[in-house]
Structure 1
Amino acid sequence: MIACCAIISMITCTVAVAEQSTSLYSTVLGPGNMELGINQRFRYEYLDEYNIKKFGTGHDDNVLLSRTQLYLKYEIPHGPSFFLQGQDSRFWFSDDINKDDYIQQCPYYNDFDLRQAYIEWRKIANTALGFKAGRQTIGYGDGRIFAGGSWGNVGRHLWDAVIMSYAIEKVKFNFIYGQKILFDWNEFDGDHYDYDVYSLYVQTKPVSGHVLDLFYVLKNNDDSANGKDELTVHTVGFYGKGKWRQLDYNATAAYQFGEDGPDDIAAYMMHAQMGYTLPHRFQPRLSAGYTIGSGDDDPNDGDKKTYDGVFGGIASYYGRMNLFSGSNLEDLQAEISIKPCKGVSVSLDYHWFSLAEKKDAWYYCNNKAMRKDNTGSSGSDLGQELDLICKYKVNPHLELMAGYAFFVPGSFAENTGSSEDAHWGFTQVTISF
């Protein structure tokens, strides 16, 4: 903790000097503007009875995470822009995680590597057409379908992709083809997962203050030569959000169909949340929500009914401790948040988790089955989690964050293995300019 305080003090002083500029360096170069920037993040975590690999470790652990991102951007007014970003991710102190335990992907460690390199032209020659091509993150809506996954030290989703767009008035069509990057902690990130992704994502604003997005995503692997089953997953659905006076809402629904080897796919996800902000200077907001990701009630009937999460994020949706991925999951949620002063926000979030289907598994943050009872006799109660998160945006260059959470296991965890309460605490500092 002394080291963390020293880091914060050092960065605060550095940022105070740099407050005059929004980036590290910016200059006019030829017909456009060139910009250099850096984002440095440190996060210390204390984990008790769980880690990023599993729940029920039987001991505690701590880890200091460091992520450095450097970028170069060149933008021509009313023309294309070019973006190049490198990232270095490292960790220290952990007794549970060793990068050598991972053949390729270590969630905490990746030597300096290319993160993004793309060209983008939002309005080609001032027309309604646009494109973005190259290595990039993809995020839409609330991040439950496409998300960059920036909470993780290395990242969750990164793409070599081409996005063509067509925007007219209140509607924007996004046509996407991409291959997802397979991170390699020891070599250049040049490999991809063995499937292609095609998508149409339509963004609309039907009336002021409201958003409605429609999407179709195809994940396809028709090459069984590598020993894996052929996979074709179609996902269709919508995302909506809006605000009316003090009330706000957001909702996402997705249905999946297709084939996974010999099995037919029939899965779904639904999320709905309603919030109310009181007319007070602290802006207290109360909200309640419900999420369900379908599970498989019979793994031997030729139908696969477990929702696969598409390419969404998890860190801020299914509890901050990242014990769940959204597959075969029901989540009842309630939250209260306040903004006591400028740049400061505090939130208290409660989750009650249960299995959607008793005979399906508890799917961990890596979307792999961690525990399962084929008989269904262990029940469906996974447990309850309480998250307290505090953020302080000191200025445009410096953000501080801290939190504490604990998880109380339910009957399913008690009947299938270790079931001690789990705890998590963290402090984080991010500097960017």
Structure 2
Amino acid sequence: MGLATWATPALAGDGEGFDLSGTVRLRYEAITNQPRVGYNQDDDLVNLRTTIFAKYQSGPFAVGGELWDSRVYGGNKGSPITTGEVNTLEMVQAFVGAKAAIGATKLAVQAGRFTLNLGSRRLVGADEYRNTTNGYTGLRADLSSQSGITATAIYVLPQQRRPDDLAALRSNAVGFDHEGFDLVLWGGLIAKAKAIGPVTVEASFYHLGERDTPGRPTRDRSLDTYGGRLIRDPAIGKLDGEVEAFYQSGTVSASTAPGAATLPVSAWFVHAAGGYTFPSRWKARVSVQYDRASGDGSPGTYRRFDTLYGMRRADLAPAGLYNAVGRANISTPGLRIEIAPPKRWDAFVTYHAMWLASHTDSFSTTGVRDASGRSGAFAGHQFDGRFRWWVRPAKLRFEIDGVLLAKGRFLESAPNATAKGTTAYGALNLTASL
């Protein structure tokens, strides 16, 4: 058995010995005319995220760990502060791993606590924009063959961030995250590079099982999510494209109340995009895309798509104080323009016109709902942009993010709609890499 020369992302880097790295990110963000229900109309927060990662590599074996410290300052009772913003002094990663080659097949295994970015990251991923990350405890195995076939399998207990009550979160209190068999995620994906010309083909399956624990009622989700994906990566002077679709089945409780009815699940999501990268020093890419995630509304069947642990920033919009647009009850065509000239900076702008997939369910992740369906389906026009500049290459990076949401009829006239007028969100970020 020879040693392999590859690694899973969590085991990236084959250098022998001890490696130590870290980041510190400071963010100031502000919003006016918050579109989500139950929060301040206008708000601002200071976010501070510090990470320290250490790894020791010896031949095919590795041991590593990563500490995350995520805090916010300046919020009050009406600020949308959740475990998406606060998770102090948590050892998100603490793993052992090994890699080997069995003939022409390469194998890597990992056990312990770790982060995951699988496939498109729409179901299992770490949203880099968010102040906290998703961690998992369990097992991971990766296979790779010379024919271009790769596969990943996982059996993990998603880390449930603690504490999670508002008072503790506002004070940046320390608490150990919980993992247990009350919340289990297993499954994986298989992909074949250049399966159809330059197109990669991917298939995935994930099962999420959830049950109540004392003092913590849940929706008792038992979800099976089947996915397929075709992708041609962007390249200068060439067309690119991606189509990914998921179907979700299983059961869910109608509410968290004891004895709530159990409902069958039938939900789905599709993402389609096509683009072109111009052959110039600006590396400008223009793409069109469409995202649709089913919403609830049919009696007797639950139809709202659950994105599990997927990221949202790359496709839809930032998290943080905005966090209004996710992969649930939405139908949105979009246009995206990206530029990435050499060396120091990159930028993009996007436009999305947004509708509800179901008139009677709440729009995306805003909580705004009209159960009668009389408020229509048009949610509004969203403009989103980002600019990043390496002040000191590989050491210090500045980033500015901005969103304008011109609310449509639904977000202005639904019974529990928030303040009228355009939503404006902005964030200034400075990240130091150690």
TM-score by length of 1: 0.83
- The count of corresponding residues between Structure 1 and Structure 2 is 390
CA distance in 2, matches of 1:107, 1:325: 14
Q: Identity across aligned pairs (percent)?
A: 21
Counterpart residue number, 2:171: none
- Native 8 Å contact 1:181 1:193 kept in 2: no
CA distance in 2, matches of 1:224, 1:90: 27
1:230-283 Cα deviation digits (max 9, x unpaired): 432111112232146421112211011112242111111000011111222212
Counterpart residue number, 1:421: 422
The DSSP-based 3-state class of the residue aligned with 1:353 is strand
Of 408-417 and 276-285, more deviation after overlay is shown by 276-285
Q: What's the Cα RMSD here?
A: 2.6
| AA aligned opposite 2:364 | Y
Counterpart residue number, 1:359: 360
Q: CA deviation at 1:203?
A: 2.6
| AA aligned opposite 1:397 | K
1:102-138 Cα deviation digits (max 9, x unpaired): 7xx5332222121111112232678633211111111
CA distance in 1, matches of 2:316, 2:213: 33
The DSSP-based 3-state class of the residue aligned with 1:270 is strand
The DSSP-based 3-state class of the residue aligned with 1:143 is coil
Map 1:323-334 onto structure 2 (within 5 A): 323-334=324-335
| AA aligned opposite 2:264 | D
Residue 233 (1) aligns with residue 215 (2): no
Residue 248 (1) aligns with residue 240 (2): yes
Change (3 A) 1:403 1:232: closer
The DSSP-based 3-state class of the residue aligned with 2:275 is strand
Q: CA deviation at 1:400?
A: 1.6
Counterpart residue number, 1:158: 135
1:319-357 Cα deviation digits (max 9, x unpaired): 234212211111111011223452211211111111001
Map 1:43-58 onto structure 2 (within 5 A): 43-50=27-34, 54=36
Change (3 A) 1:141 1:343: farther
Change (3 A) 1:270 1:108: same
The structure 2 residue matched to 1:89, chosen from 45, 70, 89, is 70
1:185-231 Cα deviation digits (max 9, x unpaired): 43111345832111021132135743222101011236798765643
- Native 8 Å contact 1:224 1:230 kept in 2: no
Counterpart residue number, 2:408: 410
Map 1:24-423 onto structure 2 (within 5 A): 32-50=16-34, 54=36, 59-77=41-59, 79-95=60-76, 105-123=82-100, 128-155=106-133, 157-169=134-146, 170-185=148-163, 186-192=174-180, 194-207=182-195, 209-221=198-210, 228=218, 230-243=220-233, 245-261=237-253, 262-298=262-298, 300=299, 302-320=300-318, 321-364=322-365, 370-393=367-390, 394-416=392-414, 417-418=417-418, 419-423=420-424
| AA aligned opposite 1:253 | A
- Native 8 Å contact 1:88 1:112 kept in 2: yes
CA distance in 2, matches of 1:331, 1:110: 32
CA distance in 1, matches of 2:130, 2:289: 24
| AA aligned opposite 1:312 | G
Q: CA deviation at 1:370?
A: 0.8
The DSSP-based 3-state class of the residue aligned with 1:266 is strand
- Native 8 Å contact 1:123 1:130 kept in 2: yes
* Unaligned stretches of 5+ residues in structure 2: 1-12, 164-173, 254-261
CA distance in 2, matches of 1:284, 1:228: 46
Of 34-43 and 224-233, more deviation after overlay is shown by 224-233
Change (3 A) 1:160 1:392: same
- Native 8 Å contact 1:49 1:56 kept in 2: no
- Native 8 Å contact 2:39 2:78 kept in 1: no
- Native 8 Å contact 2:135 2:158 kept in 1: yes
1:270-306 Cα deviation digits (max 9, x unpaired): 00011111222212211110000011232x2x21111
- Native 8 Å contact 2:156 2:185 kept in 1: yes
- Native 8 Å contact 1:239 1:250 kept in 2: yes
| AA aligned opposite 1:314 | R
- Native 8 Å contact 1:285 1:336 kept in 2: yes
- Native 8 Å contact 1:63 1:91 kept in 2: yes
Change (3 A) 1:183 1:293: same
CA distance in 1, matches of 2:77, 2:380: 24
Change (3 A) 1:61 1:192: farther
CA distance in 1, matches of 2:307, 2:182: 17
The DSSP-based 3-state class of the residue aligned with 2:194 is coil
CA distance in 2, matches of 1:122, 1:328: 41
